[in-house]
Structure 1
Amino acid sequence: MKIALYCPNKPLTHPNPSGDLIIARGLHNALNRFGHQCEEVLQFRSRWFWKSPEGWCRAAAALTRGFLNAYRLAPRVWLTYHSYYKSPDVVGPWVSRALGIPYVLFQPMYGTRRRKDPRTRGGFYLNRIALKQACHSFVNNLDDLEAMRRIVPGGNITYLPPGIFPKQFARDENLGFEMRRALHIGSDVPVIMTAARFRADVKYESLVYLLHALAKLRLRRPRFRLLVAGDGPMESRLKELARELLPGQALFVGKVPREKMFEYYSASDVFAFPGIGESLGMVFLEAQACRLPVVALDTGGVPQVVRSGETGRLVPRDDGEAMAAALDDLLGDREARLTMGRNGERFIQEERNLERNTLRLSAALEAIAR
């Protein structure tokens, strides 16, 4: 079946990695693996477009371009990934109606508080139009599910848990050993890994929080290494803080291609990232698939992707003491780490497996098209 895909927040070719982009690419790849012809028909990034006359001109041009591309493809379904107040879909509702095909949303978001703020009111109403016109919505976040039920009839919403392809993050002990050797880390040195985009928002806030927590851990357990994967505009400030708080212990390895991440996970003993402001956090799923216990804050959407006490430890937000204590416990208990690692791998295989979850989406889209 031909499917027209549109990602108004970030096109599939966007250079900066993020959880949303990972989900979008995984969705696109999985649908094609199931035999569909899923094509991205438009790369117009609608983020804040309505704030300028030039943005409205770009949106009008995108509407024309989207119609022509979809007309040539002749899809049976239009699928928009992640329409929300910052990046509302102002193309899909009209093109799908013109072509006489179902308009479907995946991971839409709705928050009435955006209506009250003049800075976000325009995006709120534009997004609301898209949500109202969708014949069906699929959500992968339980918080979004509750919000969507306020505007869309319950029968037109389906919850599909977030997932990854587990085989892409299978642990490889031999590669992990080679990676440690390449990084000059002894086999007996505990390794804590973290990964994020170094941008000036909650990602940076989380990394700063982690560095302060590890400074407290250093007082109890001075011998460990921190492996940091990622890059971004805040890199120099993070490195400076790491030199101050963890002299000689933090190793920044730069931006790692996603297909290579499993090598770094395999070289590590624990994955730690606070997850401040995270709606879900795809790195948590990747780490668990690679049999790494996770230590994070018990906040936001993190409990939806990490099972505290089973696949990791979720701790309250304080001055970093609770996170330091949890890491100290895990680094001192190899059996607990191995048990949580096996639990995490099984959790991803059975409940956060993108192959299985997208199979349900595939079947639903075919039923909608019929």
Structure 2
Amino acid sequence: MKIAFYCPNKPLGHPEPSGDRTIARGIFEALNRLGHECREAAVFRARWFWRRPKGWLRAARALTEAFRLCRAWRPDLWLTYHTYYKAPDVIGPWLSRHLGIPYVLFQPMYSTKRRRDPRTRPGFHLNRAALLACRHAVTNNRNDVAALLRILPSRAVSLIPPGIFPEEFPRDEAAGLEVRRAFGLTEADTVLITVARFRPGVKWESLRFLLEALAREPLKREDFRLLIAGDGPLEDRVRDAAERSLSSRAILTGRVERSDLHRYLSAADLFVFPGIGESLGMVYLEAQACGLPVVALRQGGVDQVVEDGVTGFLVPDPDPDAFARAVARLLADRRLRLGMGRQASRFVQTRRNLHRNYRYLSRLLEAVAGGKT
């Protein structure tokens, strides 16, 4: 089946790493592996485009180019990943209508409160139009289902759990030992790791919360090291905060490419990241695939990717002392830590495995294209 693919928030080739980009690339690659001919039909980044006249011109130009491509190529279905009020899809609905092909959305979002704010109202209405035009909507976040059912019938909404390709994150003890040695760590050291983009907003809030928690009383006498993997515009601020809170116990590794991340995760004993404002948090699945238990806050959709009490601990309130106690418990109990790590790896393999999830997506898209749903 020929599938025209589009990501209005971040094109597949966008240089900035993020969970959205990772999910989009995973869908694209999986559908091609499953025998479909999936092409990126537009690279127009729609984020806040309506705020400037040039944005509308760029949108019109992108729509024209996509129309020419699709008229010549004749796809069987248009699939858009992640339309919402900041980056609404204005290409797929028009092409679907004029070319007579089914229009499907993966991970759309719908929030009626956005229509009340003049700054977000245009994006709300453009996104609403995309949702009303779609034949089927698929979400990987159960927290979004209720909102989608406010605008779409239940038969047009499907939930596919979030996941990763587990083979991309194998536990590699030899590689982990190399990473430890590169940062002056030994096999005997207890190593925590966190992974984040150093940018303003919720990522910085999570890093600041984490550093504060790891400096609290329950952990002051614990002998551990913290690897902080990432980079970004707030790198100096993160470095200063780490120095103040943990001194030499914190090590900034710099940016780690996703293809190398399993090596760094394999160097650690425990993954720690609060996840303030995280809708899901793919990095939790990546860490668990490498056999790491997790400590995070019970916020957003984190409980969809971490099993509290089984693969880690989810702290119910944003309390640094409670977070520190959860970390201290795992540091003090090696047997519990290793057992949760084994459960974490099994959880990803059996219940958050994208090979299984995207086979279902493939069958669903074929049914939509064939007029069966």
The TM tier, using the shorter chain, reads over 0.9
Residue aligning to 2:84? 84
Residue 316 of structure 1, CA deviation: 2.7
Distance 1:218 1:240 in 2: 22
Distance 1:256 1:36 in 2: 32
Residue 217 of structure 1, CA deviation: 5.5
What is the DSSP-based 3-state SS (H/G/I as helix, E as strand, rest coil) of the residue aligned with 1:180? helix
What is the DSSP-based 3-state SS (H/G/I as helix, E as strand, rest coil) of the residue aligned with 1:252? strand
2:203 aligned with 1:203: yes
Residue 222 of structure 1, CA deviation: 4.0
Residue aligning to 1:237? 237
2:255 aligned with 1:255: yes
Question: Is the contact made by 1:217 and 1:328 (CA closer than 8 Å) also made in structure 2?
Answer: no
Distance 1:167 1:130 in 2: 35
The percent identity for this pair of structures is 58
Worse overlay, 303-312 or 93-102: 93-102
Residue 293 of structure 1, CA deviation: 0.2
Question: Is the contact made by 2:219 and 2:325 (CA closer than 8 Å) also made in structure 1?
Answer: no
Question: Is the contact made by 1:271 and 1:295 (CA closer than 8 Å) also made in structure 2?
Answer: yes
- The two structures have a TM-score, normalised by structure 2, of 0.97
| Unaligned residue ranges in structure 1 (runs of 5+) | none
Residue 250 of structure 1, CA deviation: 1.1
What is the DSSP-based 3-state SS (H/G/I as helix, E as strand, rest coil) of the residue aligned with 1:246? helix
Residue 175 of structure 1, CA deviation: 1.5
Residue aligning to 2:310? 310
Show CA shifts across 1:336-361 (max 9, x none): 11111111111111111011000000
Distance 2:203 2:114 in 1: 22
2:133 aligned with 1:150: no
Question: Is the contact made by 2:271 and 2:294 (CA closer than 8 Å) also made in structure 1?
Answer: yes
1:177-326 pair list within 5 angstroms: 177-216=177-216, 219-326=219-326
Residue aligning to 1:172? 172
Distance 2:67 2:219 in 1: 61
2:322 aligned with 1:328: no
| Unaligned residue ranges in structure 2 (runs of 5+) | none
Residue 121 of structure 1, CA deviation: 0.7
Change (3 A) 1:318 1:135: closer
Distance 2:168 2:219 in 1: 36
Show CA shifts across 1:19-42 (max 9, x none): 111100111111111111111111
1:157 aligned partner, one-letter code: V
Distance 1:127 1:254 in 2: 37
2:44 aligned with 1:40: no
1:321-360 pair list within 5 angstroms: 321-360=321-360
Show CA shifts across 1:23-65 (max 9, x none): 0011111111111111111100000011111111111111111
Residue aligning to 2:120? 120
Residue aligning to 1:101? 101
What is the DSSP-based 3-state SS (H/G/I as helix, E as strand, rest coil) of the residue aligned with 1:110? coil
Question: Is the contact made by 2:222 and 2:328 (CA closer than 8 Å) also made in structure 1?
Answer: no
Worse overlay, 216-225 or 284-293: 216-225
What is the DSSP-based 3-state SS (H/G/I as helix, E as strand, rest coil) of the residue aligned with 1:248? helix
Change (3 A) 1:305 1:219: closer
Distance 1:6 1:106 in 2: 10
Show CA shifts across 1:132-151 (max 9, x none): 00000100001111110110
Question: Is the contact made by 2:218 and 2:325 (CA closer than 8 Å) also made in structure 1?
Answer: no
Residue aligning to 2:15? 15
Aligned Cα RMSD in Å?
Answer: 1.1
Distance 1:310 1:328 in 2: 17
Residue 102 of structure 1, CA deviation: 0.3
Worse overlay, 3-12 or 210-219: 210-219
What is the DSSP-based 3-state SS (H/G/I as helix, E as strand, rest coil) of the residue aligned with 2:349? helix
Question: Is the contact made by 1:221 and 1:328 (CA closer than 8 Å) also made in structure 2?
Answer: no
What is the DSSP-based 3-state SS (H/G/I as helix, E as strand, rest coil) of the residue aligned with 2:228? strand
1:85 aligned partner, one-letter code: Y
1:355 aligned partner, one-letter code: H
- The two structures have a TM-score, normalised by structure 1, of 0.98
Question: Is the contact made by 1:136 and 1:157 (CA closer than 8 Å) also made in structure 2?
Answer: yes
Question: Is the contact made by 1:42 and 1:69 (CA closer than 8 Å) also made in structure 2?
Answer: no
1:48 aligned partner, one-letter code: W
Residue 170 of structure 1, CA deviation: 1.1
Residue 318 of structure 1, CA deviation: 3.7
Worse overlay, 78-87 or 243-252: 243-252
1:325 aligned partner, one-letter code: R
What is the DSSP-based 3-state SS (H/G/I as helix, E as strand, rest coil) of the residue aligned with 2:28? helix
Change (3 A) 1:218 1:242: farther
Change (3 A) 1:217 1:58: farther
Distance 1:264 1:17 in 2: 17
1:123-138 pair list within 5 angstroms: 123-138=123-138
Structure 1 runs, 4 residues or longer, greater than 4 Å off: none
Alignment length (residue pairs): 370
Question: Is the contact made by 1:220 and 1:328 (CA closer than 8 Å) also made in structure 2?
Answer: no
Question: Is the contact made by 1:210 and 1:273 (CA closer than 8 Å) also made in structure 2?
Answer: yes
Residue 192 of structure 1, CA deviation: 0.6
Distance 1:278 1:47 in 2: 19
